[in-house]
Structure 1
Amino acid sequence: MRKPLAAAAFVALLAAPLPAADWKPGVFAAASTLELRTTAPGEGDHWFPVWVVVIDDQVYVRLGTRAAGRIERNTTEPYVGVRIAGQQFDRVRAVAAPESVERVAHSMAEKYWSDLIIRHFDHPLTMRLVPE
Protein backbone atom coordinates (compact mmCIF):
# COMPACT_ATOMS: atom_id res chain seq x y z
CA MET A 1 0.00 0.00 0.00
CA ARG A 2 2.86 2.38 0.75
CA LYS A 3 4.52 2.02 -2.66
CA PRO A 4 1.43 3.00 -4.72
CA LEU A 5 0.83 5.92 -2.37
CA ALA A 6 4.44 7.09 -2.69
CA ALA A 7 4.29 6.71 -6.47
CA ALA A 8 1.07 8.74 -6.63
CA ALA A 9 2.61 11.48 -4.48
CA PHE A 10 5.68 11.57 -6.74
CA VAL A 11 3.55 11.88 -9.89
CA ALA A 12 1.49 14.66 -8.27
CA LEU A 13 4.70 16.49 -7.41
CA LEU A 14 5.88 16.30 -11.02
CA ALA A 15 2.55 17.68 -12.25
CA ALA A 16 2.52 20.57 -9.77
CA PRO A 17 3.09 24.03 -11.23
CA LEU A 18 6.60 25.35 -10.89
CA PRO A 19 7.22 28.33 -8.64
CA ALA A 20 8.52 31.61 -10.03
CA ALA A 21 11.92 30.76 -8.51
CA ASP A 22 12.35 28.17 -11.29
CA TRP A 23 11.86 30.86 -13.97
CA LYS A 24 15.34 31.17 -15.51
CA PRO A 25 15.46 33.56 -18.49
CA GLY A 26 19.15 32.81 -19.05
CA VAL A 27 18.25 29.17 -19.73
CA PHE A 28 15.22 30.14 -21.83
CA ALA A 29 17.33 32.30 -24.17
CA ALA A 30 18.48 29.13 -25.96
CA ALA A 31 14.91 27.96 -26.61
CA SER A 32 13.59 28.58 -30.12
CA THR A 33 9.94 28.63 -29.01
CA LEU A 34 7.73 28.52 -25.98
CA GLU A 35 4.08 27.56 -25.73
CA LEU A 36 1.44 29.90 -24.36
CA ARG A 37 -1.83 28.70 -22.85
CA THR A 38 -4.95 30.80 -23.05
CA THR A 39 -8.49 29.91 -22.04
CA ALA A 40 -11.37 31.01 -24.24
CA PRO A 41 -15.11 30.83 -23.53
CA GLY A 42 -16.53 27.61 -24.93
CA GLU A 43 -13.07 26.29 -25.90
CA GLY A 44 -11.20 25.65 -22.69
CA ASP A 45 -7.41 25.66 -22.64
CA HIS A 46 -5.49 26.18 -25.87
CA TRP A 47 -1.69 25.89 -26.18
CA PHE A 48 0.17 27.47 -29.10
CA PRO A 49 3.86 27.96 -29.94
CA VAL A 50 5.51 31.36 -30.37
CA TRP A 51 9.05 32.57 -30.84
CA VAL A 52 10.82 33.80 -27.73
CA VAL A 53 13.69 36.19 -27.01
CA VAL A 54 15.35 37.22 -23.77
CA ILE A 55 16.50 40.83 -23.38
CA ASP A 56 18.08 42.10 -20.15
CA ASP A 57 16.97 38.93 -18.34
CA GLN A 58 13.33 39.49 -19.38
CA VAL A 59 11.33 37.06 -21.55
CA TYR A 60 9.48 38.54 -24.54
CA VAL A 61 7.18 37.22 -27.24
CA ARG A 62 5.83 38.93 -30.35
CA LEU A 63 2.38 37.83 -31.46
CA GLY A 64 0.66 37.80 -34.81
CA THR A 65 -2.99 38.70 -35.26
CA ARG A 66 -4.48 35.29 -34.37
CA ALA A 67 -2.36 34.84 -31.26
CA ALA A 68 -3.05 38.42 -30.15
CA GLY A 69 -6.76 37.69 -30.53
CA ARG A 70 -6.39 34.67 -28.24
CA ILE A 71 -4.79 36.91 -25.61
CA GLU A 72 -7.67 39.40 -25.93
CA ARG A 73 -10.25 36.62 -25.37
CA ASN A 74 -8.29 34.96 -22.57
CA THR A 75 -10.59 34.47 -19.57
CA THR A 76 -7.63 34.15 -17.18
CA GLU A 77 -6.28 37.59 -18.15
CA PRO A 78 -3.68 38.84 -17.37
CA TYR A 79 -2.36 35.33 -16.75
CA VAL A 80 -1.28 32.72 -19.26
CA GLY A 81 0.39 29.35 -18.95
CA VAL A 82 3.90 28.92 -20.32
CA ARG A 83 5.79 25.79 -21.37
CA ILE A 84 9.46 26.28 -22.07
CA ALA A 85 12.64 24.20 -21.79
CA GLY A 86 10.72 21.16 -20.52
CA GLN A 87 9.02 23.14 -17.75
CA GLN A 88 5.48 24.38 -17.27
CA PHE A 89 4.47 27.56 -15.44
CA ASP A 90 0.75 27.96 -14.83
CA ARG A 91 0.62 31.55 -13.60
CA VAL A 92 2.59 33.97 -15.76
CA ARG A 93 1.50 37.56 -16.23
CA ALA A 94 1.43 38.61 -19.89
CA VAL A 95 2.27 42.33 -19.91
CA ALA A 96 1.89 44.38 -23.08
CA ALA A 97 5.27 45.95 -23.85
CA PRO A 98 4.79 48.59 -26.57
CA GLU A 99 7.96 50.33 -25.42
CA SER A 100 9.96 47.21 -26.34
CA VAL A 101 8.59 46.58 -29.85
CA GLU A 102 11.75 47.75 -31.65
CA ARG A 103 14.17 45.94 -29.33
CA VAL A 104 12.17 42.72 -29.53
CA ALA A 105 11.91 42.96 -33.32
CA HIS A 106 15.68 43.49 -33.55
CA SER A 107 16.36 40.52 -31.25
CA MET A 108 13.96 38.33 -33.23
CA ALA A 109 15.76 39.28 -36.46
CA GLU A 110 19.12 38.34 -34.92
CA LYS A 111 17.88 35.02 -33.52
CA TYR A 112 15.67 33.72 -36.35
CA TRP A 113 16.86 33.75 -39.96
CA SER A 114 13.27 33.40 -41.24
CA ASP A 115 12.37 36.70 -39.55
CA LEU A 116 13.61 38.21 -42.81
CA ILE A 117 10.12 37.31 -44.12
CA ILE A 118 8.08 37.08 -40.90
CA ARG A 119 8.91 40.64 -39.80
CA HIS A 120 6.75 41.95 -42.65
CA PHE A 121 3.63 40.30 -41.20
CA ASP A 122 1.42 42.12 -38.74
CA HIS A 123 2.53 41.75 -35.10
CA PRO A 124 0.01 43.76 -33.09
CA LEU A 125 1.19 42.60 -29.66
CA THR A 126 4.60 42.38 -28.03
CA MET A 127 4.53 41.06 -24.46
CA ARG A 128 6.88 40.59 -21.54
CA LEU A 129 6.20 37.43 -19.54
CA VAL A 130 6.46 37.79 -15.76
CA PRO A 131 6.11 34.73 -13.49
CA GLU A 132 4.17 34.91 -10.23
Structure 2
Amino acid sequence: MNPNFENIGKAFVTAYYQAFDSCANNEERSIKISQFYHPDALLIFEDDQQQGKDAVCEKIKGLPFQQVQHVITKTDCQPTLDGGVLIMVLGQLQADQDKPLGFSHVFQLRPEAGGAFFIMHEIFRLAVFNFAA
Protein backbone atom coordinates (compact mmCIF):
# COMPACT_ATOMS: atom_id res chain seq x y z
CA MET A 1 0.00 0.00 0.00
CA ASN A 2 1.14 3.49 -0.79
CA PRO A 3 2.15 5.33 2.42
CA ASN A 4 1.53 8.71 0.71
CA PHE A 5 -2.12 7.93 -0.02
CA GLU A 6 -3.44 10.94 1.94
CA ASN A 7 -1.23 13.47 0.12
CA ILE A 8 -1.92 11.86 -3.26
CA GLY A 9 -5.67 11.84 -2.69
CA LYS A 10 -5.93 15.42 -1.49
CA ALA A 11 -3.65 16.74 -4.24
CA PHE A 12 -5.75 14.88 -6.82
CA VAL A 13 -9.01 16.33 -5.46
CA THR A 14 -7.61 19.86 -5.58
CA ALA A 15 -6.32 19.45 -9.15
CA TYR A 16 -9.47 17.71 -10.42
CA TYR A 17 -11.98 20.26 -9.13
CA GLN A 18 -9.79 23.22 -10.13
CA ALA A 19 -9.68 21.86 -13.67
CA PHE A 20 -13.40 21.01 -13.68
CA ASP A 21 -14.55 24.38 -12.32
CA SER A 22 -12.21 26.60 -14.35
CA CYS A 23 -13.80 25.83 -17.71
CA ALA A 24 -16.22 28.12 -19.53
CA ASN A 25 -18.33 25.25 -20.91
CA ASN A 26 -18.68 21.47 -21.00
CA GLU A 27 -16.81 21.05 -24.30
CA GLU A 28 -13.72 22.68 -22.79
CA ARG A 29 -14.28 20.82 -19.52
CA SER A 30 -14.37 17.37 -21.14
CA ILE A 31 -11.07 18.07 -22.92
CA LYS A 32 -9.36 19.51 -19.85
CA ILE A 33 -10.26 16.73 -17.43
CA SER A 34 -9.71 13.86 -19.87
CA GLN A 35 -6.10 13.82 -18.65
CA PHE A 36 -7.27 12.42 -15.29
CA TYR A 37 -8.93 9.27 -16.70
CA HIS A 38 -7.56 5.82 -17.41
CA PRO A 39 -8.59 4.60 -20.91
CA ASP A 40 -10.78 1.89 -19.31
CA ALA A 41 -12.30 4.14 -16.62
CA LEU A 42 -15.77 3.34 -15.26
CA LEU A 43 -18.22 6.06 -14.21
CA ILE A 44 -21.60 6.00 -12.52
CA PHE A 45 -23.15 9.47 -12.70
CA GLU A 46 -26.46 9.33 -10.85
CA ASP A 47 -28.00 6.21 -12.48
CA ASP A 48 -26.08 6.40 -15.76
CA GLN A 49 -23.07 4.12 -16.19
CA GLN A 50 -20.29 4.81 -18.71
CA GLN A 51 -17.20 2.77 -19.55
CA GLY A 52 -14.06 4.14 -21.14
CA LYS A 53 -12.41 7.54 -21.12
CA ASP A 54 -14.17 8.65 -24.33
CA ALA A 55 -17.62 7.73 -23.00
CA VAL A 56 -16.93 9.53 -19.72
CA CYS A 57 -15.85 12.66 -21.59
CA GLU A 58 -19.00 12.50 -23.76
CA LYS A 59 -21.10 12.31 -20.59
CA ILE A 60 -19.37 15.44 -19.28
CA LYS A 61 -20.03 17.25 -22.58
CA GLY A 62 -23.74 16.53 -22.18
CA LEU A 63 -24.16 17.85 -18.63
CA PRO A 64 -27.08 20.31 -18.32
CA PHE A 65 -25.01 23.31 -17.18
CA GLN A 66 -22.03 25.32 -18.37
CA GLN A 67 -20.60 26.97 -15.24
CA VAL A 68 -20.05 25.08 -12.00
CA GLN A 69 -18.37 25.71 -8.67
CA HIS A 70 -17.59 22.95 -6.16
CA VAL A 71 -17.06 23.65 -2.46
CA ILE A 72 -15.45 20.69 -0.71
CA THR A 73 -16.58 19.94 2.84
CA LYS A 74 -14.56 16.77 3.49
CA THR A 75 -12.12 14.50 1.66
CA ASP A 76 -11.40 11.01 3.03
CA CYS A 77 -8.66 8.83 1.54
CA GLN A 78 -7.64 5.18 1.96
CA PRO A 79 -4.80 3.21 0.37
CA THR A 80 -5.68 0.25 -1.85
CA LEU A 81 -3.73 -3.00 -2.04
CA ASP A 82 -2.48 -2.25 -5.57
CA GLY A 83 -0.85 1.04 -4.50
CA GLY A 84 -3.82 3.14 -5.54
CA VAL A 85 -6.02 5.48 -3.55
CA LEU A 86 -9.72 5.38 -2.72
CA ILE A 87 -11.20 8.87 -2.24
CA MET A 88 -14.58 9.99 -0.90
CA VAL A 89 -15.51 13.66 -1.38
CA LEU A 90 -18.46 15.45 0.21
CA GLY A 91 -19.44 18.98 -0.65
CA GLN A 92 -21.77 21.35 -2.43
CA LEU A 93 -21.88 22.50 -6.01
CA GLN A 94 -23.58 25.36 -7.74
CA ALA A 95 -24.31 24.97 -11.43
CA ASP A 96 -25.04 28.10 -13.45
CA GLN A 97 -27.50 30.16 -11.39
CA ASP A 98 -29.19 27.18 -9.67
CA LYS A 99 -29.31 26.84 -5.91
CA PRO A 100 -26.38 24.95 -4.33
CA LEU A 101 -26.81 21.19 -3.97
CA GLY A 102 -24.93 18.68 -1.86
CA PHE A 103 -22.99 15.91 -3.57
CA SER A 104 -20.89 12.85 -2.87
CA HIS A 105 -18.12 11.77 -5.21
CA VAL A 106 -15.99 8.62 -5.03
CA PHE A 107 -12.77 8.08 -6.98
CA GLN A 108 -10.53 5.04 -7.11
CA LEU A 109 -7.14 6.06 -8.48
CA ARG A 110 -4.91 3.53 -10.18
CA PRO A 111 -1.13 3.93 -10.13
CA GLU A 112 0.71 3.87 -13.44
CA ALA A 113 4.40 3.73 -14.37
CA GLY A 114 6.30 6.90 -13.59
CA GLY A 115 4.29 7.71 -10.47
CA ALA A 116 1.15 8.98 -12.23
CA PHE A 117 -2.36 8.18 -11.00
CA PHE A 118 -5.50 7.93 -13.11
CA ILE A 119 -9.20 7.58 -12.31
CA MET A 120 -10.18 3.94 -12.76
CA HIS A 121 -13.56 4.04 -10.98
CA GLU A 122 -15.79 7.02 -10.23
CA ILE A 123 -19.24 7.38 -8.67
CA PHE A 124 -21.07 10.71 -8.47
CA ARG A 125 -24.36 11.39 -6.73
CA LEU A 126 -26.23 14.60 -5.93
CA ALA A 127 -27.65 14.73 -2.41
CA VAL A 128 -31.25 15.27 -3.48
CA PHE A 129 -33.86 13.89 -1.14
CA ASN A 130 -37.57 13.32 -1.60
CA PHE A 131 -39.31 13.62 1.76
CA ALA A 132 -42.83 12.27 2.23
CA ALA A 133 -45.38 15.04 2.85
TM-score (norm 2): 0.27
Task: Looking at secondary structure, tell me which structure has more strand per residue.
Answer: 2
Larger C-alpha radius of gyration, 1 or 2?
1
